[in-house]
Structure 1
Amino acid sequence: MNSQLASIAVKVVKDSAPSKRPPPPGAVDWKNRTYGLTCDDIADRPVKVAVRNGTGTAGGSGIGRAYNRWEVRVQQAVQGRLPRLGSVTAVLFSCSPQPSNFFTQELRVYRSSDGREIARIPHLSGGEWLPPEYQPGSVAIRKDRISADLKFYGSGDSHGSPSRARHVTWIWDGKRFVTHGAAAEPEASERVDLSRERITVNGLGPLKVGMSRTQAEKAVGASIPLAGDPACAHLAISGGPEGLLLRFVDDSLVAISVSEPETSISTASGIHIGSTRDDVMRTYAGEISSTFVGDGLEELVFAPTAPQFSGKVIVFSMRDGKVEQFVAGQRDWANLAPCPH
């Protein structure tokens, strides 16, 4: 009889204890899954990060040669409904490349039903200053849009202490999220040193594919004089860097080209003028193709397979087994040929 009472007591204790049941079938556990992240464009293509209990670590060659790991944390996950998309979940990540004393953030949107990624919220540049910081807990999905509070850096702000609060919203236009609400980027009052920036399929530092020439001038804090046919023109930034050219088609930035004498600008993965063919092939293994174009020239084309980078590439011009020029941007325009006349 005593053993029966003891058994009943154990059962009562177990039944009354807090249950850590797994999520129901079909539900997505946003703090325990694998994501594809770029650490806010430090990487040219998404790196897989296994997150457990809201934190994770990424390593390998894809995270950039300057770092040995990324430390990733889920800062917020919020669910809601959007027109044409239905139920979605927005997840805010922080990413701290190590060794370093900074962190980045990126906001990505997924289908709530199965966790498939829809798109990333556009990168927000801080002009000549550091990128703005999302305020965790402020991300919301309501009134047919995604919104968040951010703090932008201004003159006199110290690292880690941005002071310009802005409320920014994004709507889905059927293909991507478009920034609305308060102006997303403060005007640059000082020149940006682009030679210190990294190039990706999306742009170079504050320069983003899709900008108008006026927006690009504000982003870099320098003039970009119009020369040639505005329907398609390769334009230089006043004061350099020399060897950096911006291709505008109908006043939209479609590609960015780097050639000598500019040798300090590199891709986010560290490829630059003078890098070897082996370096390029190893860095972008599985997503790069080769074409020989004659006169001893070879073109290597890095085309990311992730949906959010669809239609964008980096083309490397190789001579004698080394990079002599590269151009990044929209596939149809990121080429080494001059604009048609």
Structure 2
Amino acid sequence: MVDKPVKVEVRNGKGIAKGDDIGGYDRWEIEVQRTAQGSLPSLGKVTAVLFYCSPQPSNFFEQELRVYRTDDGSEIGSTPTFDTTPELPPQYQQKSLVVKDGRVAADVKFYGPEDSHADGPSILRHVTWTWRDGHFITHVVDTGSEDRGAVDLSHQPITVTGMGPLKMGMSRGDAAKAIGSPIPGKEGRRVCTDFSVEGGPKGLLLRFASDRLVAIYVIPPATTISTRSGIHIGSTRDDVLDTYAGKVTATTPDYGGEELVFAPAAPEFAGKVIMFSMSNDVVEAFIAGERDWARFAPSCGAPE
């Protein structure tokens, strides 16, 4: 926000910065959100500190994760920033910060293609940092079942890139590990297979092709599963058009009816869509994922 560092006195984890050095704001509200202690290879005992800064008046905030030597308080370094748009930076989940097993680790939520600044980010990932050659190296992995138990998919919104810890391109084994539940059966003889999750919501199908998750398919009775923007089976045609204003194309398939296709404009989501099958101007099913596979016809086979 400014070119030169600003000194802030922090007491009981909070502080206020004022003056001409903080840019066009009345004040910065500073907070130490969490500290975590442990040991890192070649560094010894360290303390990781998650800082929070909210310039006022504004509707945004910044977070920064820095690591210090526990014995003398000297700063070792900060973790690298994430390669995301500056307007929608990811958010650290402060209670998850730990120093464990030779790593600094935290859960971080990233913005997906349907997320807005008002609603906040929806994609939860587990991030770790290791110290190497004088700086921290970032390792980002999808959230999985380790130490978390099975994921309740009935409460996970669907985007073009996946559903909760499920990400397009995952193998079936990695997907099962990520959600903490088996995905039983063998791939059928067709080019793609729609699998159900053991113990998962009825009507939720994971489409795999050559052992890659390529789409997520929702059919009745899964009427409560929705997209990140809240569209679900039973939503009206106007709901879809209003929600994805200007980004929906209507098509008429050979078998009749109507399909509404949402295709995000951002380059990083190119080639991925959410397709809604309509009946009497109401969503009767929808499928999200890679454009070549997120289709209702020809259908994929059931597992053997």
TM-score range, shorter chain: 0.5 to 0.7
What SS does the corresponding residue of 2:205 show, helix, strand or coil? strand
Q: Unpaired segments of 5 or more residues in structure 1?
A: 1-17, 24-50, 58-71, 79-88, 92-106, 125-130, 139-147, 154-164, 170-178
Match for residue 151 of structure 1?
Answer: 106
Match for residue 287 of structure 1?
Answer: 247
2:287 to 327, 330, 338: 327
Cα distance in 2, alignment partners of residues 132 and 229 from structure 1: 47
Match for residue 76 of structure 1?
Answer: 64
What SS does the corresponding residue of 1:151 show, helix, strand or coil? strand
2:224 to 264, 278, 281: 264
Compare 222-231 and 319-328 and name the one that shifted more: 222-231
What SS does the corresponding residue of 1:293 show, helix, strand or coil? coil
Whichever residue aligns with residue 151 of structure 1, its letter is A
- Alpha-carbon displacement from aligned partner over 1:15-35 (angstroms, at most 9, x marks no partner): xxx865979xxxxxxxxxxxx
Q: 1:75 to 1:54 in 2, by over 3 A?
A: farther
Q: Does 1:275 align with 2:210?
A: no
Instruction: Please report how far the alpha carbon of residue 272 of structure 1 lies from its aligned counterpart in structure 2 after TM superposition.
Output: 0.3
Match for residue 192 of structure 1?
Answer: 151
Q: 1:238 to 1:305 in 2, by over 3 A?
A: same
Q: Does 1:304 align with 2:264?
A: yes
Instruction: Please report how far the alpha carbon of residue 313 of structure 1 lies from its aligned counterpart in structure 2 after TM superposition.
Output: 0.9
Structure-to-structure mapping, 1:85-124, within 5 angstroms:
91=81, 107-109=82-84
Instruction: Please report how far the alpha carbon of residue 208 of structure 1 lies from its aligned counterpart in structure 2 after TM superposition.
Output: 1.4
Indicate conservation of the 8 Å contact 2:215/2:289, yes or no: yes
Cα distance in 1, alignment partners of residues 147 and 269 from structure 2: 27
Identity of aligned residues (%): 45
Whichever residue aligns with residue 195 of structure 1, its letter is S
Whichever residue aligns with residue 321 of structure 1, its letter is D
Match for residue 339 of structure 1?
Answer: 300
Compare 326-335 and 281-290 and name the one that shifted more: 326-335
Q: 1:204 to 1:109 in 2, by over 3 A?
A: closer
Q: 1:234 to 1:184 in 2, by over 3 A?
A: closer
Structure-to-structure mapping, 1:32-43, within 5 angstroms:
none
Cα distance in 1, alignment partners of residues 235 and 162 from structure 2: 20
What SS does the corresponding residue of 2:268 show, helix, strand or coil? helix
Cα distance in 2, alignment partners of residues 152 and 55 from structure 1: 28
- Alpha-carbon displacement from aligned partner over 1:219-261 (angstroms, at most 9, x marks no partner): 2221111331485211111223111111111111110000101
Q: 1:56 to 1:277 in 2, by over 3 A?
A: farther
Whichever residue aligns with residue 245 of structure 1, its letter is L
Instruction: Please report how far the alpha carbon of residue 263 of structure 1 lies from its aligned counterpart in structure 2 after TM superposition.
Output: 0.5
Whichever residue aligns with residue 334 of structure 1, its letter is A
Task: Name the TM-score, length of structure 1 as normaliser.
Answer: 0.52
Match for residue 204 of structure 1?
Answer: 163
Q: Unpaired segments of 5 or more residues in structure 2?
A: 1-18, 25-52, 67-78, 109-125, 131-137
Instruction: Please report how far the alpha carbon of residue 186 of structure 1 lies from its aligned counterpart in structure 2 after TM superposition.
Output: 4.9
Match for residue 218 of structure 1?
Answer: 177
Q: 1:109 to 1:205 in 2, by over 3 A?
A: closer
Q: 1:263 to 1:246 in 2, by over 3 A?
A: same
- Alpha-carbon displacement from aligned partner over 1:242-298 (angstroms, at most 9, x marks no partner): 111111111111100001011110111110000000000000001111101145411
Instruction: Please report how far the alpha carbon of residue 132 of structure 1 lies from its aligned counterpart in structure 2 after TM superposition.
Output: 8.1
Whichever residue aligns with residue 204 of structure 2, its letter is L
Indicate conservation of the 8 Å contact 1:55/1:74, yes or no: no
Whichever residue aligns with residue 230 of structure 2, its letter is G
Match for residue 276 of structure 2?
Answer: 316
Q: 1:238 to 1:201 in 2, by over 3 A?
A: same
- Alpha-carbon displacement from aligned partner over 1:34-62 (angstroms, at most 9, x marks no partner): xxxxxxxxxxxxxxxxx9948843xxxxx
Cα distance in 2, alignment partners of residues 242 and 281 from structure 1: 27
For these two proteins, the number of residue pairs brought into alignment is: 218
Q: 1:249 to 1:296 in 2, by over 3 A?
A: closer
Structure 1 runs (4+) greater than 6 angstroms displaced: 131-134, 181-184
Match for residue 64 of structure 1?
Answer: none
Q: 1:75 to 1:226 in 2, by over 3 A?
A: same
Structure-to-structure mapping, 1:52-63, within 5 angstroms:
53=55, 56-57=58-59
Instruction: Please report how far the alpha carbon of residue 134 of structure 1 lies from its aligned counterpart in structure 2 after TM superposition.
Output: 7.3
Instruction: Please report how far the alpha carbon of residue 191 of structure 1 lies from its aligned counterpart in structure 2 after TM superposition.
Output: 2.7
Whichever residue aligns with residue 75 of structure 1, its letter is Q
Instruction: Please report how far the alpha carbon of residue 189 of structure 1 lies from its aligned counterpart in structure 2 after TM superposition.
Output: 6.3
Instruction: Please report how far the alpha carbon of residue 149 of structure 1 lies from its aligned counterpart in structure 2 after TM superposition.
Output: 3.6
Indicate conservation of the 8 Å contact 1:90/1:109, yes or no: no
